[in-house]
Amino acid sequence: MKNIVLFASGSGTNVENCIRYFQNSSVAKVVAVFSNNPNAKVLERAKTYEIPSVVFSKEALSSEELLLKIKGFQPDLIVLAGFLLRFPENIITSYPNKIINIHPALLPKYGGKGMYGMNVHRAVIENKEPETGITIHFVNEHYDEGNIIFQKKVSLAGNESPEDVAEKVHELEQTHFPAIIEKLLNTKS
């Protein structure tokens, strides 16, 4: 059985989806949720499923203490699901090719600092993109620049609001994210 540690900063719908997906899995289980936001709804979601959660400050993200807490859960995969801070090098170095992120756009478009959530969807609309989607990628020391694992596209009609785009992207996230995590864990030794 492989261990998944999730990081999130907000509401945690993708986290909850992953928890539910792996609840009765023989492949993996979610063993912890980490958040930099003590008021994040994701913490309530973790509590509902009796998943341990760890709250830390932005300043503590690159601390040795946080790395030790992560190591205590023995993760086979660290999954960023709506985590808004740049991941620190000491954790990336400790878990090479074992940290992934989901991004609400087709990278390399609309990635980088500040490009998350509605910021991405507004940019897609403003640039009259004919399609958008999700990108699941490995995490490296730069925002949204790690090797791409998976992308899924959705067409846009051109009359959508940012909220409409968010809903289409969210459907892709809910459908594909846990399955790609499972596939990745099945291919890792």
pLDDT for residue 146: 95
Q: For residues 85 and 160, what is the distance between their CA atoms, to the nearest angstrom?
A: 29
pLDDT value at residue 187: 85
Q: What is the pLDDT of residues 7-16, one digit of tens each?
A: 999 999 999 9
| Catalytic annotation present for 103 | yes
Cβ-contact 18, 177 below 8 angstroms: yes
Strand partners, 99: 78
Give the per-residue pLDDT at 138: 97
Question: What pLDDT is recorded for position 166?
Answer: 96
3-state secondary structure of 60: helix
pLDDT beneath 70, residues of the chain: 188-189
**Catalytic-role residue among 103, 121, 137, 176:** 103
pLDDT of the residue at 188: 63
pTM score of the predicted model = 0.95
pLDDT at 90: 96
1-21: b (≥16 Cβ within 10 Å) or e: ebbbbbbbbbebbbbbbbbeb
> CB of 90 within 8 A of CB of 67?
yes
